[in-house]
Amino acid sequence: MRSVLPVCSIFGIFGLSSDDDHTTLRAHAVELSRRQRHRGPDWSGVFADDGAILVHERLAIVDPASGAQPLRSRDGRLALAVNGEIYNHRQLRDGLGYDFTTGSDSEVVNALYRSTGGTGFVSELNGIFAFALWDRDRQAAIIARDPIGVCPLYWGHDAAGRLLVASEMKALVDVCDDVAQFPPGHVYDTATGELRRFHHRDWREHDATAGTTIPPAALREAFEQAVHRQLMTDVPYGVLLSGGLDSSLVAACAAKFARDRVEDDDRSEAWWPRLHSFAIGLDGSPDLAAAATAAEMLGTQHHGFVYTFEEGLDALPEVIRHIETYDVTTIRASTPMFLLARRIKAMGVKMVLSGEGADEIFGGYLYFHKAPSAEAFHDETVRKLDALHNYDCLRANKSMMAWGVEARVPFLDLEFLDTAMGIDATAKMAGAGRIEKHIVREAFDGALPDEILWRQKEQFSDGVGYGWIDGLKDHAELVVTDAEFAEAAARFPHNTPETKEAFLYRSLFERHFPGTAAAATVPGGKSIACSTPAALEWDPEFAALADPSGRAVRGVHDQALDV
Beta-bridge mates of residue 194: 189
Catalytic residue, candidates 8, 176, 393, 530? 8
pLDDT tens across 446-466, in order? Answer: 999 898 999 876 655 555 767
Amino acid at residue number 109: V
Q: Are residues 317 and 475 in contact, defined by beta-carbon separation less than 8 angstroms? A: no
530 carries an active-site annotation: no
∠ CA 13-145-201, rounded to 5°: 155
Residues 6+ apart with CB under 8 A from 487: none
Which of 333, 292, 286 has its CA nearest to residue 312?
333
Residues 6+ apart with CB under 8 A from 447: 220, 249, 252, 453
> What are φ and ψ of residue 14, in 5° steps?
-130, 150
* Helix/strand/coil for 403: coil
Residues 6+ apart with CB under 8 A from 155: 143, 163, 164, 165, 166, 172, 176, 179, 180, 182
Looking at residue 286, what is its pLDDT? Answer: 87
pTM for this model (two decimals): 0.92
CA 22 – CA 51 distance, rounded (Å): 9
pLDDT tens across 496-521, in order? Answer: 999 999 999 999 999 999 999 999 99
CA 167 – CA 7 distance, rounded (Å): 11
Q: From the CB of residue 197, how many other CB atoms can be counted at a distance below 10 Å?
A: 12
Looking at residue 550, what is its pLDDT? Answer: 52
Q: Are residues 415 and 126 in contact, defined by beta-carbon separation less than 8 angstroms? A: yes
Three-class HEC string of 439-497: HHHHHCCCCCCHHHHCCCCCCHHHHCCHHHHHHHHHHHHHHCCHHHHHCHHHHCCCCCC
Q: Are residues 374 and 127 in contact, defined by beta-carbon separation less than 8 angstroms? A: no
Residues 6+ apart with CB under 8 A from 104: 3, 4, 5, 6, 67, 71
Looking at residue 432, what is its pLDDT? Answer: 80
* pLDDT beneath 70: ranges in the chain: 1-7, 41, 58-68, 233-234, 259-273, 457-463, 465, 525-536, 542-563
Q: Are residues 3 and 63 in contact, defined by beta-carbon separation less than 8 angstroms? A: yes
E strands of 311-430, at which residues?
A: 351-353, 406-408
Looking at residue 1, what is its pLDDT? Answer: 46
Q: Which domains does the chain have, with CATH numbers?
A: 6-200 (3.60.20.10), 204-552 (3.40.50.620)
Q: Terminal CA-to-CA distance of the chain, rounded, Å?
A: 48
**How far, in whole angstroms, is CA 434 from its chain's centroid?**
29
